[in-house]
Copies of this chain bind each other. A is one copy, B any other.
């Protein structure tokens, strides 16, 4: 008998003044969220972006840790004074903050004893008991504390580490999606679309998103569900609506 998979959820906590101020465009949310769903069947249900302020980090870590199965943090684990994620997580859980032996060895080996200065040593400091998330690009590991997985903020480095998170995660049921791109406006289909959503309320989430492509206005209808069968049923109903309203489909 196939074991029924459970729902597993996560939150993302983006830590960094540069994202809040608008100086840097966050790219980690979309990447992590996509990866979690397709590779682990984990659904991201909340994202927060907060400043590099210890009190704020602690409060949010506690809150999200209680509320979700996993919390992914990005940013604040580098060598400079504004990198305070590790210390804040230690404080949030009342854990000792100090050198992680394995991380220390990895970094010492990577930089060589001579170049292993205080800034670099700082990247080996973690909450006691943290499990390492290895970093194939630039050595400095991320780490897992309780249900919190801490990754760096630089997207290319984060992306290279994400597969190393997998061994820490329980798999859930993947959300599948199907998109229908229509050359119409939302208000032309909103009523019928609402009825279809009502019919499949329990199983499928239907979203409607305007787009502008090839100089034309359109609407993408995105259906999401853990059941492929239910998605096919919704798609059949949608295609009937499209046929009735004589709407053109954009094939891409």
Contacts and interface: CB of A to CB of B under 8 A. Distances in A.
Contact of A81 (B25, B31, B46, B194): B194
B81 A17 contact: no
Which secondary structure dominates chain A's binding surface? mixed
A112 interface: no
Interface residues of A, number: 63
Contacts of A46: 20, 48-50
A24 B177 contact: no
A187 interface: yes
A191 B80 CA distance: 7
Contacts of A188: 117, 119
B190 A118 contact: yes
Most buried by B among A22, A30, A188, A193: A22
8 contacts: A17-B224, A20-B33, A21-B37, A21-B175, A22-B29, A79-B186, A82-B205, A117-B191
Give the 9 A-B CB pairs with smallest separation, nearest first.
Answer: A119-B190, A119-B187, A22-B33, A22-B34, A81-B194, A47-B49, A22-B30, A80-B208, A79-B187
